[in-house]
Amino acid sequence: TLVMNLHPAGELAAQDRLTALQALSDSFEVLADSVNPAVVEIFASCFVPASGLVSSMKVFTRVSRSGCGVIVDSEGYIITNAHVVIGASKVQVRLASPQGPDGDHQSILKPQGELLGAQVVGLDRETDLAVLKTLNKGLPFLPIGDSDEVNQGQMVFAFGSPRGLENSVTTGVVSATARQLREEDPMIYIQTDAPINPGNSGGPLVNARGEMIGINTMIVSESGGSEGLGFAAPSNIVRYVYEQIRKTGRVQRGTIGARAQSITPLLAGGLGLDRNWGVLLSDVYPGEGAAKAGLRVGDMVLTLDGKLMENGRQFRVNLYRHSIGETVDIEVMRGAQKLKFRVPVSD
E strand segments, 125-278 = 129-133, 155-160, 168-179, 189-192, 204-206, 212-219, 230-234, 258-262
Are 133 and 74 spatial neighbours (Cβ–Cβ below 8 Å)?
no
Let me know how many helices (H) and strands (E) the chain has, helices first: 6, 18
CB atoms within 10 A of CB 27: 11
In single-letter form, the type of residue at position 327 comes to T
CB contact set of 293 (below 8 Å; sequence gap of 6+): 256, 341, 342, 343, 344
Per the DSSP assignment, residues forming a β-bridge with 173 are: 155
**Gap between the Cα atoms of 287 and 11, Å rounded:** 78
Active site residue 235: no
- The residue among 249, 245, 177, 165 whose CA lies nearest residue 203 is 165
- Active-site annotation holder among 124, 128, 193, 299: 128
Helix (H, G, I), strand (E, B) or coil at 19: helix
Cα 61 to Cα 44: distance, rounded to the nearest angstrom: 14
Task: Pick left, alpha or beta for residue 195 (phi over 0 → left; psi -120 to 50 → alpha; otherwise beta).
Answer: beta
Helix (H), strand (E) at residue 9: helix 9-35
Q: Which residue among 161, 168, 201, 262 is the active-site one?
A: 201
- Tell me which residue of 68, 91, 81, 85 sits closest to 129, measured CA to CA: 81
The Cα–Cα gap between 41 and 57 comes to 35
Whether 305 is a known active-site residue: answer no
Q: Is residue 128 annotated as part of the catalytic site, yes or no? A: yes
Enzyme catalytic residues: 83, 128, 201
